[in-house]
Amino acid sequence: MAGSDRVLTYAQLADRSARLASVFREAGLQPGDTVALLTDNTPEAYEVYWGAVRSGLYVTAVNRHLTAPEVAYIVTDSGASALLVSGRLPELAHELLELVPTLRARLAFGAALSGYDDYESALAQASPEVPADQPCGADVLYTSGTTSRPKGIRQVLPTRQVDEPGNPVVELACAALGFREGMVYLSPAPIYHAAPLRFSTAVHAVGGTVVMMDKFEPHAALAAIDEHRVTHSQWVPTMFVRMLKLPETSRAGYDLSSHEVAVHAAAPCPVEVKYAMIDWWGPILYEYYAATEGNGSTVIDSEQWLSHPGSVGRPVQGIIRICGDDGLELTPGQVGEVFFERDEVPFAYLGDQSLTTAAQHPHYPTWTTTGDVGRVDEEGFLYLTDRKSFLIISGGVNISPQEIEDALIVHPSVADAAVIGVPHPDMGEEVRGVVVPAHPHLVGEEAERDLIDYLSGRLARYKVPRHIDFVSELPRTPTGKLVKRLLRSQYT
């Protein structure tokens, strides 16, 4: 743990995850069952992950910034049989007791919590014996997508033992990003996100060191690279922006000579920002484009990017197919929906076959999309031009506009509502509400504050708009469909 003296060794991780696997077995969990994890950034997160994965279980890491009802929905929807929570989240954990009462196991680590069994006591009493059969588990992670409720993305459960090769994230990281034994990886982002969880555990799989930050802070991140001789790191563009804003004298005060690979993803990186980072850190930036669904990915290194600025790279998993609204494949340079062709569909939306089917090409079922729009050039480099769903990405976090719109529209002072992402110099995008008032006088700063306060009691803080604008009319088609493209164009 960066900034502290906490260390989790491989011997401890092996022993404690084996004991936790025994706890799961004693609770009656079987391969294919699900464990939910609600935590801040702490080493126990990795114990829970490996305890579940070495038991053939699915693990669902839940965003700790959600409200209790939002967390409860994910725990219930994922079918979790066990819930493990951090003791540093006492209020949220307490609220969940009544919302998710039917669980086979409920454990709290880091501090004692009423209603939860003590994690350390459970491990101490559990058997450290490793069974001969350790089927490999996988994750079920949730994405907001384009619907009002987050959707669980279930990876296909591997047909291998946990210590056997075949993890696609590990294979990609080794081949494209130079992951190897002895590497030192800095993870500054929340562990409940797909990339930090999957890449950190890929480091474990190859025998490297993970340096986890409690939370990102520019000086602390640079100090961690210096102190721990970090070789690899992972970021979102917002972090680049904040580090670049440090005074030049401060930036020059850290020894970054060990740094070999700086990976970034999750949100579009402004071209000017990336130029500045390459100028500062050298040609060590690697960008990838992928989704939690794991349906395909691209990678681009610094040299390639400098000759193809704005591109997210060429495919390393799957074959890119750009298709028009009629489903026909387009030629290089034409803009359309981005599909990845694979031998099989590697994911499913939990409990919603219609959504899984909707992500597949109508004529080629193994071509899947997450709704992004872009083009490829003659050399096969992909450029993203928009997001079909108008999903908001703020600071690398996906936010569903529909969920916020659904909360706004039921307020008595709102006649019509839309939520969009508008440009923000630090976060990439910020959430902006646009409201048609029920009465002409329900406008102004007081009305705006009332609506923001109303949403704050119903949604996680990062989903609540910073500003709400009042308009007389929203652009809608004759059938009532909101034309967000026209609305966003007023801001972009």
pLDDT tens profile 100-145: 999 999 999 999 999 999 999 999 999 999 999 999 999 999 975 4
- Per cent of the chain over pLDDT 70 is 97
For residues 396 and 314, the model is more confident at 314
- Average pLDDT of the chain is 93
**Strand pairing category for 382-387 and 117-118:** unpaired
Residue type, 122: A
Statement: residue 271 has pLDDT above 90:
no
Domains belonging to the chain, first-starting first, are: 10-155 (3.40.50.980), 195-387 (3.40.50.12780), 392-489 (3.30.300.30)
pLDDT tens profile 53-107: 999 999 999 999 899 999 999 999 999 999 999 999 999 999 999 999 999 999 9
Reference 232, options 206, 251, 252; nearest CA is 206
- Find out whether 347 and 156 touch, Cβ atoms under 8 Å: yes
- Find out whether 308 and 298 touch, Cβ atoms under 8 Å: no
The pLDDT value recorded for residue 389 is: 65
pLDDT confidence bin for 146, thresholds 50/70/90 = very low
pLDDT confidence bin for 199, thresholds 50/70/90 = very high
Statement: residue 457 has pLDDT above 90:
no
Q: Mean pLDDT lowest for which of 71-85, 217-231, 345-359?
A: 345-359
Mean pLDDT calculated for residue range 17-44: 98
- Find out whether 59 and 37 touch, Cβ atoms under 8 Å: yes
- Find out whether 100 and 93 touch, Cβ atoms under 8 Å: no
CB atoms within 10 A of CB 377: 13
Mean pLDDT calculated for residue range 218-247: 94
Torsional sign, CA 237, 238, 239, 242: positive
